[in-house]
Amino acid sequence: MRWGHEMEDVDGRYPWARNDPEGYRKAFAYFVSRCRTILPEARYVWSPKGHKNLAAYYPGDEFVDIIGNPHLGPRKMDIDYWNRPRRFSETVEEKYERVGQFRKPVMIAELSVSGSRTYKQDWYAEIFNSPEYKTQFPLLETILFFNDKEPYRWPMGYGSPDWRFDPKTLAVLVQR
């Protein structure tokens, strides 16, 4: 169960994401404690966005079974900020270092790629056909894909990225 995700990103998108780490930790602990009375076998995901301040929101080992982060591949934004398209493993590295300190299993709670077909194919090829990243990120156990058009408009003219899978893009991976 993933509850109260991206809590340390206080840009106003989510009502639970406030500059109140103590309140968030208490709410997360309450949620998990109550749910465990009904679903003791469930696993609970603490899912920060990955900002530098995420540790302040960590509710404690007893309430966290898995740590999840979103990882996005918006090609246009990569070029604007990094002067080049980045690879999948590059986007994982910084956030992974931040959550790895807790020594919990890690999942990519939302993986999304937006851009040209070639850009998407390169990302998917790295994930599916070249899993060297597994040795680089040994705590990473699960990747969940976000397959939709972004419901919110991004700032600075980025619009609503289209994160949907393109069957033709994925078909090429089978042939590689």
pLDDT per residue over 37-96, tens digit each? 999 999 999 999 999 999 999 999 999 999 999 999 999 999 999 999 999 999 999 999
17 and 79 inside one domain: no
14 and 40 inside one domain: yes
* Domain that includes residue 8, residue range: 1-64
Judge contact between 73 and 121, C-beta under 8 A. no
CA–CA gap between residue 60 and residue 94 (Å, rounded): 21
76 and 35 inside one domain: no
| pLDDT on residue 172 | 66
CA–CA gap between residue 48 and residue 56 (Å, rounded): 11
Among 64, 90, 119, identify where a domain stops: 64
60 and 75 inside one domain: no
Long-range contacts of 14-17 (CB under 8 A, 24+ apart): none
| Share above pLDDT 70 across residues of the chain, in percent, rounded to a whole number | 97
Say which CATH number the domain at 119 has.
3.20.20.80
Taking the model in full, what pTM does it have?
Answer: 0.89
- Nearest partner of 107 among 147, 138, 66, 136, judged by Cα: 66
